[in-house]
Amino acid sequence: MSLTLRTISREQHLAYIQSLPAASHMQVPAWADVKAEWRSESLGWFDKTGEMVGAGLVLYRQLPKIKRYLAYLPEGPVINWFAPNLVDWLEPMLAHLKQQGAFSVKMGPPVIIRRWEATSIKKGIQDPDVKRLRDIEADFIEPRAFEVSDKLRRMGWQQGEDGGAGFGDVQPRYVFQVPLANRSLEEVHKNFNQLWRRNIKKAEKAGVEVVQGGYQDLEEWQRLYEITAVRDRFRPRPLSYFQRMWSALNNEDPNRMRLYFARHEGVNLSAATMLVVGGHVWYSYGASDNIGREVRPSNAMQWRMLRDAYALGATVYDLRGISDSLDETDHLFGLIQFKVGTGGQAAEYLGEWDFPLNKLLHKALDIYMSRR
């Protein structure tokens, strides 16, 4: 199968994404507007008949002082990763990016290798010999994913370090997902652990209400998010980032980004943003105050978001990144514990891969990034 690749318009790109059951929110054309500090380009793959069979959003970040770029396809490109002729898909892409002045290419194949059910993870947490997710036998393994990584290595791609390049928004290697396809909401609720079910009830009894917000409520979102940043010791994004995200994504599709608040007696206690692309729904950012935890606003909010995702016809509710550490003393352990309570599955992606088009500049970038 001979494939050609060329730059496409945003309209063509969006139409292609809309024709699919789902794709990453980082591969929709509007994501380029969210990442305003990067130059962007939409790529399309075409078969012999001229039909578009794949698409990719490329973000270009210029190196300081010289006209050379890192080309990044976050959680993409959106192609047939299991195609036997994977090289025919990726070679024209590398040739094109090189022509565009890229010295290095980073991509995140949206391919899942393994899945672990919540029950298996719970057992693993109780086992003193288990330190990481990888120490637990997976409940599902995708053999074709191993073929993909073999092919990539043979082509000269290098597997990136876990946690990515430090450009922010790197693709998490491990995520937690609640599958919704072919399940009733009752089944999903039954699968929550006892603590989750108790907390949802507690919030209901206390009169916690969950409401949707709009653009004008992003300042209130920011207030809660900055409280969270201080508590969890991370650097918060500015309000302008979320305003840009809201405008860009919802201009493309009015249902792309949502904002939720859980409030008690008129006070907002927690908030979250939700992203929707086809049948894939993500809980993307979360925030909460230091007060009011006893009324369990976060559980109430997640349950409402999950129900809304279900009503939208979602096949998966994605709680995004988790660490693979199951060590109770790890500062990220609480996060996995919270997410495991939903009774979903942990999933491991293939991770991010790099192709150095110019080995010298690629090495220089590595050194530069490791010092930041």
CB 313 within 8 A of CB 349: no
In a domain, 61, yes or no: yes
In a domain, 152, yes or no: no
CB 265 within 8 A of CB 207: yes
Residues 135 and 9 in one domain: no
Give the per-residue SS3 of the chain. Answer: CCCEEEECCHHHHHHHHHCCCECCHHHCCCHHHHCCCCEEEEEEEECCCCCEEEEEEEEEEECCCCCCEEEEECCCCECCCCCCCHHHHHHHHHHHHHHCCEEEEEECCCCEEEEEEHHHHHHHHHCCCCCEHHHCCCCEECHHHHHHHHHHHHHCCEECCCCCCCCCCCCCCEEEEEECCCCCHHHHHHHCCHHHHHHHHHHHHHCCEEEEECHHHHHHHHHHHHHHHHHHCCCCCCHHHHHHHHHHHHHHCCCCEEEEEEEECCEEEEEEEEEEEECEEEEEEEEECCCCHHHCHHHHHHHHHHHHHHHCCCCEEEEEECCCECCCCCCCHHHHHHHHCCCCEEEEECCCEEEECCHHHHHHHHHHHHHC
Q: What is the pLDDT of residues 236-269, one digit of tens each?
A: 999 999 999 999 999 999 999 999 999 999 999 9
Residue positions counted in the chain: 372
In a domain, 150, yes or no: no
Torsion sign (Cα): 276, 279, 283, 285 = negative
In a domain, 217, yes or no: yes
- Cα angle for residues 93, 360, 157 (degrees, 5° grid): 40
Residues 172 and 318 in one domain: yes
Give the Cα separation of 165 and 46 in Å (integer). 31
Residues 20 and 118 in one domain: no
Residues 55 and 120 in one domain: no
Where residue 30 sits, what CATH number does that domain have? 3.40.630.30
Of 164, 163, 128, 112, nearest to 345 by C-alpha is 112
Torsion sign (Cα): 134, 135, 138, 139 = negative
Torsion sign (Cα): 55, 61, 63, 65 = positive
- Stated pTM of the model: 0.93
Structural domain containing residue 120 = 112-140+162-349
Residues 48 and 99 in one domain: yes
Residues 252 and 338 in one domain: yes
Residues 311 and 174 in one domain: yes
Residues 298 and 313 in one domain: yes
Residues 263 and 359 in one domain: no
Q: In the prediction, which pLDDT does 162 show? A: 56
CB 104 within 8 A of CB 167: no
In a domain, 148, yes or no: no
Q: In the prediction, which pLDDT does 267 show? A: 98
Q: What number of CA atoms fall less than 13 Å from residue 186's CA on the CB side?
A: 0
Low-confidence ranges of the chain (pLDDT < 50): 163-168
Q: In the prediction, which pLDDT does 367 show? A: 75
Residues 167 and 56 in one domain: no
Give the Cα separation of 89 and 2 in Å (integer). 9
Q: Is 147 exposed, middle or buried (0-12, 13-18, 19+ CB in 10 A)?
A: middle
Q: In the prediction, which pLDDT does 163 show? A: 44
In a domain, 151, yes or no: no
Residues 207 and 300 in one domain: yes
What total of structural domains would you count in the chain?
A: 2
In a domain, 103, yes or no: yes
In a domain, 147, yes or no: no
Residues 13 and 44 in one domain: yes
